[in-house]
Amino acid sequence: MTTRTLIKNLAASTDGPISVSGWVETVRDQKKVQFVVLRDESGAVQLVHPRLFNEDKTPAEDPIADEISSLSQGSFLTVSGELKHDERVKLGGVEIKVESIDVASRAIPETPIADDSGVDKRMDWRFLDLRVPKNALIFKIQTTLEHAWRTYWVENDFIELHTPKLMASASESKAELFEVDYFDGKAYLAQSPQFFKQMAQPAGFGKIFEVGPAFRADPSFTSRHATEFTSVDSEISWIDSHEDVMKLHEELLVAGFQAVKDKHGAEILALWDVEVTVPTVPFPRIPLAEAKRIVAERGYEVPRADDDMDPEGERQIAAYVKETFGHEFVFLTDYASSIRPFYHMRHADDAALTNSYDLIFNGVEISTGAQREHRVDVLIEQAKDKGLEPEELDFYLDFFRYGVPPHGGFGMGLSRVLMLMLHLPNLREATYLFRGPTRLLP
């Protein structure tokens, strides 16, 4: 493997021989001296090469100068030379005087995207788009966020699962289901790991988590929808109500946001002018019926025929919470059973309501959570109420026929969290390779 020094470590290195590798960001090919800005995954450094001249001041033979003159933006190379600290150098206070260049790969000189390219064009050339430090930082933040969540889970004795994404039947709604040929039959892409994360409860796992792909055949072209996304799921046993799930959920988010703020807060502020706020606990909790009343008092009537909240209602209640509590998060609780899945537990004293919630972050729903119905006889009746045939759910109902603890959990969209944390305009920016109704490439 090539021995190289990461550019971010140059400032702490002593003057002298050094080797760095990366791609060419800019070339300034001047008459007496040449400058190259070389970037790697950690930062950028200025390379300098004074041109060689004969005693009569005519250009001398200078292979390094010829090589630099031929470099195109995006070419990948390794440079060896002399590191020198110089506070006059604006880029990091160091520069490297070039002694040798080894070009690994030359780029086509004309790049297909520019600083002012639209998001669709940038997505066509995503690998070039991600060379931009601001865009690459999103996925360093994602790594920190997921690592903090995993640390929380592992330190609290959760077990990680990897559930199948090919299923024999729908896990959520048949309306948003991708069907695929499966040998002599049909299979479906998992809309969520719902059934399988619940299966871990009668298996005696206690507390589980999964970070993995989910698929929704949703033809929406909004800024917050995708046909494939990364779902962050957790499920826990021995709960008293959905309040226990909300407590887990907010603690997990606090751990993630604190880690992001500690490691990337200054960069986020510099690049996006966004102050990462670590949320205080407990998050505000508002029953959905009360939230709709508050929204109505703000002058907005939710124009839905069902009992759900709509996107504008979510924005309105988020604005109210920000104004009233100074908080970016709010749990909307106690959703109507008419708009919740059959496996959500209903209120003991009002079957029209469920022990469930949606979590709203900066005006957008990022998660649904609930206490699950674990009593098989009740579960069967609730499935019938939804027009489902219990026989079609037999494999799922078997989970509850051999003993199961009270349990609950949530599913959360990773890219939505990143989008809203960084105040990005759409989900595509926060997704490594976006998938939507008209995008399957790259």
- Residue with the two structure tokens 């949530």: 410
CATH at residue 50: 2.40.50.140
- Residue 437 is assigned to a structural domain of this protein: no
The per-residue pLDDT string of the chain (442 residues; one tens digit each, 9 = 90 and over) reads: 668 999 999 999 999 999 999 999 999 999 999 999 999 999 999 999 999 999 999 999 999 999 999 999 999 999 999 999 999 999 999 999 999 999 999 999 999 999 999 999 999 999 999 999 999 999 999 999 999 999 999 999 999 999 999 998 876 667 789 999 999 999 999 999 999 999 999 999 999 999 999 999 999 888 899 999 999 999 999 999 999 999 999 999 999 999 999 999 999 999 999 999 999 999 999 999 999 999 999 999 999 989 999 999 999 999 999 999 999 999 999 999 999 999 999 999 999 999 999 999 999 999 999 999 999 999 999 999 999 999 989 999 999 999 999 999 999 999 999 999 999 999 999 999 999 999 999 9
User: Rounded distance, CA 97 to CA 79, Å?
Assistant: 9
Say if residue 227 is in the same domain as residue 253: yes
pLDDT tens digits for 356-410? 999 999 999 999 999 999 999 999 999 999 999 999 899 999 999 999 999 999 9
The reply, when asked if residue 172 is annotated as ligand binding, is yes
Query: End-to-end CA distance of the chain, in Å?
Result: 29
pLDDT for residue 1: 67
CATH at residue 407: 3.30.930.10
Task: Report the percent of the chain where pLDDT is more than 70.
Answer: 99
Say if residue 283 is in the same domain as residue 347: yes
pTM of the model as a whole: 0.95
Domain boundary residue, one of 79, 105, 131: 105
Q: What length is written for the chain?
A: 442
pLDDT for residue 172: 65
Say if residue 178 is in the same domain as residue 66: no
User: Rounded distance, CA 225 to CA 364, Å?
Assistant: 11
- Residue 387 is assigned to a structural domain of this protein: yes
The reply, when asked if residue 216 is annotated as ligand binding, is yes
The reply, when asked if residue 365 is annotated as ligand binding, is yes
Give the domain range for residue 81: 7-105
Domain boundary residue, one of 73, 105, 137: 105
pLDDT tens digits for 247-270? 999 999 999 999 999 999 999 999
Distances (CA, A) of 199 to 29, 161, 237: 64, 11, 11
- Residue with the two structure tokens 């751990």: 255
- Residue 436 is assigned to a structural domain of this protein: no
The reply, when asked if residue 416 is annotated as ligand binding, is yes
The reply, when asked if residue 131 is annotated as ligand binding, is no
CB 406 within 8 A of CB 237: yes
User: Rounded distance, CA 55 to CA 59, Å?
Assistant: 9
Our count of domains for the chain comes to 2
- What are 353's two structure tokens? 């309501």
Strand 179-182 to strand 33-40: parallel, antiparallel, or no bridges (unpaired)? unpaired
Say if residue 369 is in the same domain as residue 402: yes
Say if residue 267 is in the same domain as residue 327: yes
